[in-house]
Structure 1
Amino acid sequence: MLIRTLLACLFSWAAWPVAAQSFPDRPIRVIVPVSPGGGTDIFARKLVELIGASLGQPIIVENRAGASGTIGTQAVLDSRPDGHTLGFVWNTPITAAPHTLGARYRMDSYTPVMRVGYSPFAICARPDFPASNLQEMVARIRANPGQYTWGNEGMGGVMHLGVERVWRRLGLELTAVPFQGAGQTLPAFLGGHITFYGGSLTGAVPALRAGTAKCLMLTTADGSPEAPGSQGLAALGLTDMAITIWWGLIAPSGVPADRLERLTAAFTEAARHPDFATLMQQQAAVLNIETGEAFARSIRAEYEALGTVARQLNLLR
């Protein structure tokens, strides 16, 4: 009996490395919970391109937009926790939607894998809008209450909460118009359907470079060289209200640690590739990699802060 037990253990130990090395054993899906074309989609596809065949299986990017990212995020979390389905998200479906949009998931429903970086949110006007700086924009809106509209990445999202807080502090009245990411907001803005583009500075870059937009307000404390003429919230004395959009990778809760480790290593290596750093710079984003528990702590802090804002705005669901 003892010999049989020892043999069983030996076979088990011998087989373990093979089993561990067999992951992934089929294509990996990366669900992007937003329409194609915006910064979230662009960054996800570049990471997948840079990873290439290093994991031994194809990686398929699947866009699943809707409900401010909660539909695609829920699809990630409903999948088997085996490491073959991941989500590349921005912060709204993670830190805002559970408070404001009735999302069924909470922080313990997923495992943070890595953050790649962040960018300011931006409020941009068309070139002929009668304001050349942030102070003039505020004065114009104040003189015309209720006449202007601003697009955003979804009601109850990170940008909506953050910017509404600014509007209220300044006593401004604008109508919020929700979209499903910059890929939808920017065309609506360029088509004249809304007064102001509201979304990541990354999403506004094509219009800035084409000269079809001017970004007057950023939600960081300071402006950005990528948006000439922009000013941050410090110009209004509102540095304490600064907030950014960030992008990162999540997995369903329960993925085995060895699989998470392999995925984290592959995606981190891709994010550190010079081509990815160049892309982020081109898209007016800041490369800032954070993994594991450090990433989880950042999420937790923002989740709690936005919960407070949602309560103050009577948006809790």
Structure 2
Amino acid sequence: MKATPAPNMQRRRLLAAGAAGLAAAGSGGLLLPRAARAAAYPERPITFICPWPVGGTADQSMRALCQVASQALKQSVVLENRAGAAGMIGARAISQAKPDGYTIGQIPISVTRFSQLGSLPLDPRSDFTYIARTSGQTFGIAVLANSPFKSLREMAAYAKANPGKLTYGHSGIGGATHVGMEEFAQAAGIELVSVAYKGGSAALQDVIGGQVDMLADSSSWAPHVESGKLRLLATWGEQRTPRFKDTPTLKELGYEVVVEAPNGVGAPKGLDPAVEQTLRAAFRDAVASKEFKQVVARIDAPVMYLDGPDYQRYVAAVYDHETQLIQRLKLKEMLQKG
């Protein structure tokens, strides 16, 4: 017959078993609490960093997206504007945040350019977790309604005869509006003077005020074109925009330049896969929502959705294209000159 352990011995064994269980929870057992945390995500509001000023087209589309995504996530998604350096201040803040899913934001596609120009110390192909590509932008060149230029050809002819005389406002050196305009200038064989701003809305005000000759921006110009205050000379998409169907594209006019610069949502690298899946599902629903489509239609931002993994592959392809563009436009030298 097996002897029954003394009461003290039984107590010691129970304590030892409890200690072993705690030790397991402190090492390999962390997998269970982490999974539980991911399943409960999100448990508090999420900060969404928008790298552009309040009121611009990117700000408007991202606010609409956050509002719908918050419904799917059942938590507030609070947009925080961190403008400057052509969107790179906000992009860097996203990359440096804790990868817990509580700091996400808009990643401008120009991270593929600025990382190679040395002003963003990271590799966008591997240093973000990509959630969704959302919508594109309708870029264009606009002038005041009383400008002597009735068409892009007239403006280009004047610029060719008067190199360095015409100015244009844009949202930052090396950004999509700056590089797109310089691509056009190179294709047209003209020399323009760029004037950099922190965002398109500030550039717009100076064009309306007559301090700058032209505006290169996404569709902040749209309501002013419709009101008759501005004249739209050309858009930069693959096709004409339905809202301004009488305005030709650069490509139509013989310049092989197409700029769409789609917006996307991302997070720091190292995000828990379960949290990533939750965010991808929420933003997939948000992009497909009626509310988001109404806002982007109003600001001429075509829906260009890609899920996270496809978006990451797109970023890698754009990175390779930017390598060639930087060399062709001599952007490093341009950036050094300011």
Q: TM-score, normalised by structure 1?
A: 0.90
Q: How does 1:32-71 map to 2 (within 5 A)?
A: 32-71=50-89
Question: In the alignment, residue 278 of structure 1 is paired with which amino acid?
Answer: Q
Contact 1:122 1:217 in 2 (8 A): yes
Aligned partner of 1:242 among 247, 250, 258: 258
Percent of counterpart pairs with the same letter?
27
User: Alpha-carbon deviations, 1:49-75, whole Å to 9, x = none?
Assistant: 122343232211100111111111111
Matched, 1:180 2:195: no
5+ long unaligned stretches in structure 2:
1-12
The alpha-carbon deviation at position 175 of structure 1 amounts to: 0.3
The alpha-carbon deviation at position 113 of structure 1 amounts to: 1.1
Matched, 1:297 2:313: yes
Contact 2:164 2:191 in 1 (8 A): yes
Q: Comparing 36-45 with 118-127, which one deviates more in the overlay?
A: 118-127
Contact 2:262 2:304 in 1 (8 A): no
Say which SS state the counterpart of residue 262 (structure 2) adopts: strand
Query: 1: CA distance between counterparts of 2:175 and 2:81?
Result: 19
Q: How does 1:127-276 map to 2 (within 5 A)?
A: 127-200=145-218, 202-239=219-256, 241-276=257-292
Contact 2:38 2:272 in 1 (8 A): no
User: Alpha-carbon deviations, 1:68-104, whole Å to 9, x = none?
Assistant: 1111111111110111101113322x22211235211
Q: TM-score, normalised by structure 2?
A: 0.85
Question: In the alignment, residue 266 of structure 2 is paired with which amino acid?
Answer: I
Matched, 1:97 2:114: yes
Query: 2: CA distance between counterparts of 1:198 and 1:53?
Result: 35
The alpha-carbon deviation at position 219 of structure 1 amounts to: 1.7
Query: 1: CA distance between counterparts of 2:51 and 2:131?
Result: 16
Q: Comparing 139-148 with 102-111, which one deviates more in the overlay?
A: 139-148
Question: In the alignment, residue 208 of structure 1 is paired with which amino acid?
Answer: V
Contact 1:101 1:156 in 2 (8 A): no
Q: How does 1:298-317 map to 2 (within 5 A)?
A: 298-316=314-332
Query: Following superposition, which runs of at least 4 residues in structure 1 exceed 3 angstroms of deviation?
Result: 3-6, 11-18
Contact 1:133 1:230 in 2 (8 A): no
The alpha-carbon deviation at position 307 of structure 1 amounts to: 1.9
Question: In the alignment, residue 247 of structure 2 is paired with which amino acid?
Answer: S
Query: 2: CA distance between counterparts of 1:53 and 1:197?
Result: 37
- Considering only aligned residues, what root-mean-square deviation do their CA atoms show, in Å? 2.4
The alpha-carbon deviation at position 120 of structure 1 amounts to: 3.0
Q: Comparing 134-143 with 253-262, which one deviates more in the overlay?
A: 134-143
5+ long unaligned stretches in structure 1:
none
Q: How many residues align?
A: 312
Q: Which residue of 2 aligns with 1:79?
A: 97
Q: Comparing 137-146 with 253-262, which one deviates more in the overlay?
A: 137-146
Contact 2:170 2:196 in 1 (8 A): yes
The alpha-carbon deviation at position 193 of structure 1 amounts to: 1.7
Q: Which residue of 2 aligns with 1:118?
A: 136
Matched, 1:281 2:297: yes
Query: 1: CA distance between counterparts of 2:95 and 2:32?
Result: 33
The alpha-carbon deviation at position 17 of structure 1 amounts to: 5.9
Question: In the alignment, residue 317 of structure 2 is paired with which amino acid?
Answer: A
Asked which structure has the greater CA Rg, the reply is 2
Report the CA distance shift for 1:256/1:14 in structure 2 as closer, same or farther (over 3 A): closer
Say which SS state the counterpart of residue 234 (structure 1) adopts: coil
The alpha-carbon deviation at position 122 of structure 1 amounts to: 0.8
Q: Comparing 173-182 with 203-212, which one deviates more in the overlay?
A: 203-212
Report the CA distance shift for 1:295/1:12 in structure 2 as closer, same or farther (over 3 A): closer
Contact 2:236 2:251 in 1 (8 A): no
Question: In the alignment, residue 29 of structure 1 is paired with which amino acid?
Answer: T
Question: In the alignment, residue 189 of structure 1 is paired with which amino acid?
Answer: V
Report the CA distance shift for 1:31/1:254 in structure 2 as closer, same or farther (over 3 A): same
Say which SS state the counterpart of residue 169 (structure 2) adopts: strand
Contact 1:37 1:182 in 2 (8 A): no
